[in-house]
């Protein structure tokens, strides 16, 4: 990618705007102000964003922008920005671009020298990490592991990872992912953060082995972040890693 030398002065602004991951109060005053004042909101799920807008009495026009239409609608959004309009891209939850399709639009906007302003706010990875009790000074965000192609390679890459590992997972793949992590990484500390900021928020503190053998205390419903301990010197010295 070329180095961006200067923004196009005539362009409008693309706001990458973070929204709550569950609790509607987890949104900044600045984000609400921008949502109320942009020309259009490009929303991953217009129903979810509609509820947020309704809660705050905001009636800005929305347009769908998601994984299945991103290639088709990005040129249209860029044209609007080039005409001087302002657009806020929001995802279903949290920070757009973190494990969701906003990356595609932002990359195109950078290449077209559109002015970009990120509006920070909620994302699922940080609250899970900071409550895990595992080292936070260095960590890697792995997002979702691939369901099929490339899964083994990605798991293999994690085996020697010394930093704390943060993963996203859906409820129907949680058991499989925990089993695969245990098989490849051996026993490690594991924290499962479920339904963050919501009514049934729950943290499970244990290990990959314990979770692989029985995960009865955690209902397999809702949304999950997994935090796995990195490879420590102690583990390295043990037989499995020698
Ligand atoms: N952009 C979002 C962010 O900033 O975190 C992530 C979008 S990704 C499509 C959705 C995944 O994020 C879920 O499958 C889950 O792993 C995680 N997630 C989102 N909200 C969550 C919550 N309230 N509690 C736990 N995990 C959550």
Instruction: Assign 67 a pLDDT band (cuts: 50, 70, 90).
Output: very high
How many angstroms is it from 182 CA to the middle of ligand 1?
22
pLDDT higher than 90, residue 237: no
3-state helix/strand/coil string of the chain: CCCCCCCCCCCCEEEEECECCCCCCCCCHHHHHHHHHCCEEEECCHHHHHHHHHHCCCCCCEEECCCCCHHHHHHHHHHHHHCCCCEEEECCCECCCCCCCHHHHHHHHHHCCCEEEEECCCCCHHHHHHHHCCCCCCEEEEEECCCCCCHHHHHHHHCCCCCEEEEEECHHHHHHHHHHHHHHHCCCEEEEEECCCCCCCEEEEEEHHHHHHCCCCCCCCCCEEEEECCCCHHHHHCHHHC
Q: Which residues contact 23 (CB under 8 A, 6 or more apart)?
A: 197, 198
Domain boundaries, the chain: 6-119, 125-240
How many angstroms is it from 67 CA to the middle of ligand 1?
16
177-236: pLDDT as tens digits = 999 999 999 999 999 999 999 999 999 999 999 999 987 878 889 999 999 999 988 887
Residue 216's pLDDT is 80
pTM for this prediction? 0.94
In CATH, the architecture of 125-240 is 2-Layer Sandwich (3.30)
Stretch 5-25: mean pLDDT: 88
Contact 170, 224 (CB under 8 A): yes
Q: What residues line ligand 1, using a CB cutoff of 6 Å?
A: 21-22, 91, 93-95, 98-100, 123-125, 168-170, 193, 195-198, 223-225
Ligand 1 atom closest to Cα of residue 100: 9
Give the Å distances, CA to CA, from 48 to 51, 72, 229: 5, 22, 34
Q: Which has the closest alpha carbon to 78: 98, 101, 107, 99?
A: 107
Instruction: Assign 242 a pLDDT band (cuts: 50, 70, 90).
Output: very low
How many angstroms is it from 143 CA to the middle of ligand 1?
9
Stretch 153-181: mean pLDDT: 97
Structure tokens at 146: 């691939």
Stretch 16-32: mean pLDDT: 98
* Phi, psi for 207 (deg, rounded to 5): -140, 165
Sign of CA dihedral 51, 56, 57, 58: negative
Dmax over CA atoms of the chain, in Å, equals: 63
Class of domain 6-119 (CATH, top level):
alpha beta
How many angstroms is it from 58 CA to the middle of ligand 1?
24
């Amino acid at each position: 990618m070329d180095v961006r030398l200067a923004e196009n002065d005539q362009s409008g602004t693309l706001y990458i705007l973070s929204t709550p991951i569950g609790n509607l109060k987890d949104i900044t005053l600045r984000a609400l102000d921008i949502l109320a004042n942009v020309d259009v909101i490009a929303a991953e799920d217009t129903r979810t964003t509609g509820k947020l807008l309704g809660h705050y009495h905001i009636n800005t026009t929305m347009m769908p922008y998601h994984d299945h239409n991103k290639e088709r609608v990005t040129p249209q959004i860029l044209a609007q920005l080039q005409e001087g309009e302002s657009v806020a891209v929001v995802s279903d939850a949290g920070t757009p671009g973190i494990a969701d399709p906003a990356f595609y639009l932002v990359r195109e906007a950078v290449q077209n020298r559109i002015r970009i302003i990120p509006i920070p706010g909620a994302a699922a990875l940080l609250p899970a990490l900071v409550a895990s009790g595992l080292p936070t000074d260095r960590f890697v965000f792995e997002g979702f592991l691939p369901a099929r192609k490339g899964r083994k390679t990605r798991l293999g890459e994690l085996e020697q990872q010394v930093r704390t590992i943060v993963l996203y997972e859906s409820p129907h793949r949680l058991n499989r992912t925990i089993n695969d992590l245990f098989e490849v990484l051996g026993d490690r500390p594991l924290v499962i953060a479920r339904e963050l900021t919501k009514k049934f928020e729950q943290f499970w503190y244990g290990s990959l082995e314990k979770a692989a053998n029985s995960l009865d205390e955690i209902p397999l419903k809702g949304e999950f972040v997994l935090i796995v301990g990195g490879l420590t010197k102690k583990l390295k010295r043990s037989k499995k890693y020698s």
